Amino acid sequence: MTQHIIHPCPPPAHGALSPATGAGLRFGAPQAATLTAFPLVGGALHVTGTPVADVLLLLGGCGAIGTGVIITAAGGLRRMASATAALLQAAAGK
């Protein structure tokens, strides 16, 4: 005799990805907005007189923060720690 378990949540919709299958790898509106906003912000800052080096530094810092947030959210702190260690070793020339 088999027992049926009643699940309080309905099954996922067709095409829905679980976090384990790479839901963060999909390209959507947030990614498109970021790809559009970075060149627009950089261009606007340059037109207002900001030196190109400062624009690149600012946008690079924003990109690094965004990458860190996504890595932390998608892979956890262990992956973030190993990526940071690899980056620091590469920067130190080891």
| Global pTM exceeds 0.85 | no
DSSP per-residue codes, the chain: -PPPPPPSSPPPPTTPPPGGGTGGG---HHHHHHHHHHHHHHHHHHHTT--HHHHHHHHHHHHHHHHHHHHHHHHHHHHHHHHHHHHHHHHHT-
pLDDT at 51: 93
- The tens place of each residue's pLDDT in the chain, 94 residues long, gives 556 566 565 555 555 555 555 555 677 887 788 778 888 988 999 999 999 999 989 888 888 888 777 777 777 777 778 878 888 888 887 6
pLDDT at 82: 82
Nearest to 72 by CA among 86, 58, 82: 82
pLDDT at 7: 54
Spans of all domains in the chain: 66-94
